Amino acid sequence: MPRYTKTAMLLHWLIALLIVAAFALGLVMTDIPGLTPTKLKYFSWHKWLGCTVLALAAIRLLWRLLHRAPPYPPQLPQWQKSSSHALHGLLYLLMFGVPLSGYFYSLAAGIPVVYLGVLPLPVLIGPDPVLKPLLKTAHYWLNMALLACVCLHVAAALKHLLIDRDGIFSRMLPSTD
Ligand code: HEM
């Protein structure tokens, strides 16, 4: 069974880890009442994690455009090939949409992002009281869409691993032989 390249695997698992961390931190930090130093620190960490996801997603998209994914086994039903392509496409869109909505929300709220506390990132829009609530809602709902897509993606992967046992899951794992 052909596998993804090492670069594709590294980007896949690194981005997956960072998305889970950014998502969890997003929920925790917005739950903290008031404006405490801890809350502000978590907001910064969340933004840095999210900007890292955005940068890695750009590298990953470029890599994917320049390299073909390994072909599916011929016995895989056509509907599964089509739905996996559609879901992967949606995941790519959300890997950009989620961090970009957060980034522009932060700018619309008048808080430019300083990556890791040292690198000021481009201020592409100024404070905007009209856009601010729209972008906040967009960030929330894009995250819920991402959660739904990731759940489907994981469920499909586990079905291939535990029920179909067709080797599709291990295409994204380093070879043990
Ligand atoms: C993969 C990347 C990201 C994920 C998975 C993510 C996830 C989340 C989640 C789950 C929340 C909580 C939503 C809620 O309960 O209201 C949140 C809130 C927030 N995110 Fe992100 N986020 C990402 C990237 C970013 C980026 C790049 C920025 C800014 C540079 C950002 C800025 C914010 C802000 C400011 C909030 C607080 C919203 C509020 O005021 O309630 N996020 N994020």
Q: What is the domain partition of the chain in residue ranges?
A: 6-67+79-172
Instruction: Give the model's confidence band at 114: pLDDT under 50 very low, under 70 low, under 90 confident, else very high.
Output: very high
Whose tokens are 């899951």? That residue is 169
Nearest ligand 1 atom to the CA of 27 is: 12
CA–CA separation, 5 and 11 (whole Å): 10
3-class secondary-structure state, position 91: helix
CA–CA separation, 170 and 177 (whole Å): 12
Q: What is the pTM of this model?
A: 0.95
pLDDT tens-digit series, residues 2-19: 899 999 999 999 999 999
pLDDT of residue 147: 98
CA–CA separation, 36 and 92 (whole Å): 34
Does the pLDDT value for residue 169 go beyond 90? yes
* DSSP of 51-71: HHHHHHHHHHHHHHHHSPPPP
pLDDT of residue 1: 79
- Ligand 1 center–CA 85 separation, angstroms: 27
> 111 CB under 6 A from ligand 1?
no
Contact between 100 and 58 under an 8 Å Cβ cutoff? The reply is: no
Instruction: Give the model's confidence band at 177: pLDDT under 50 very low, under 70 low, under 90 confident, else very high.
Output: low
Taking residues 48-65, what's their average pLDDT?
98
